[in-house]
Amino acid sequence: MKTFMGTALVCAVLSMAFSPLSHAQDDYNEGKNLSSYTVTRTTAKLKIDGKINEADWKRAEEFVMVEATKGGKAPLKTTMRLLWDDDFLYIAYFCEDPDAWATWEKEDDPMWDEEVVEFFIDPNGTGFSYYEHEINPINQKVDLFIVNAGKRLNGKFTGWKDWDFKNLKQAVYVDGDGKKHGTKDKFWTVEVAVPFDELLELRGNTPEDGDMWRFNAYRIERGDKNKKDDDFYAGFSPVYRGSFHTPWQFGKIYFKK
């Protein structure tokens, strides 16, 4: 269940999120079995077409995502890769999927009820505020700015649904149709380019060599549309519970030139 706040309240919360007080009260950075990833730079311009076939993607580390709620092996192969340049953080997913499908066709539909990949970005690493973005197999999206109350309140959160990335780029490629339930598919892949200049904490700056951000990536896979016990959830860093909004379990990504 997601809840959403108005613009005025978000502005007030943002001022708190980026203040020294929020860091002094930080209790979000202690987790268990946190994953880490070194983000290397691109050597050439990437074409965002969903196919992740450029040489830079082949060089980037392939991270096999685990079952998000328990930390074990996920039933279907799901991988993540990251790259960066002066303007964007690039995120790529591979999702093995014998039946990729989607019914939500409008931006900001409740896509978390169906099949999606997601990422959560927390550049400050406080867990108090972060960005969420979801993409389904037909390349529709949801993006949110999230405020999280942290571990002491069990990750209680609220999200600003009217917030949007303006210049984010994304694309999906499906080996199959990706839309109809019950048809045969093989896999789907996703490419995303997240603009640094829209991340408020950076204040227009680009990450520097050695910087660390807190980050998580997820996949929601629905099995039989009518059987919830066929579902599974994959993650970059396992959350060990039934909520992705667990910032103390976000993994760590390190930028390297």
Model pLDDT, residue 228: 58
The yes or no reply on domain 36-256 and CATH 2.60.40.1190 is yes
Alpha helices in the chain (DSSP H): 7-17, 20-24, 55-59
Query: Residue range 208-218: average pLDDT?
Result: 97
Q: What is the pLDDT of residues 5-58, one digit of tens each?
A: 444 444 444 544 444 334 334 456 578 999 999 999 999 999 999 999 999 999
Say if residues 117 and 93 touch (Cβ distance below 8 Å).
yes
- Per-residue pLDDT band at 230 (split at 50, 70, 90): confident
Whether the per-residue pLDDT at 197 is higher than 60: the answer is: yes
Model pLDDT, residue 216: 98
- Per-residue pLDDT band at 224 (split at 50, 70, 90): low
Cα separation, 151 vs 49, whole angstroms: 38
- Per-residue pLDDT band at 1 (split at 50, 70, 90): very low
More confident residue, 24 or 237: 237
Cα separation, 237 vs 173, whole angstroms: 25
Instruction: Specify the pairing of strand 129-135 against strand 78-84.
Output: unpaired
Instruction: Specify the pairing of strand 251-256 against strand 36-41.
Output: parallel
Q: What is the pLDDT of residues 144-188, one digit of tens each?
A: 999 998 888 999 999 998 899 999 999 999 999 999 999 999 999
Cα separation, 67 vs 71, whole angstroms: 5
Whether the per-residue pLDDT at 88 is higher than 90: the answer is: yes
Q: What is the pLDDT of residues 112-146, one digit of tens each?
A: 999 999 999 999 999 999 999 999 999 999 999 99
- Cα dihedral 232, 247, 137, 53, rounded to 10, equals -110
Query: Residue range 61-75: average pLDDT?
Result: 96
Query: Residue range 74-93: average pLDDT?
Result: 97
Say if residues 232 and 223 touch (Cβ distance below 8 Å).
yes
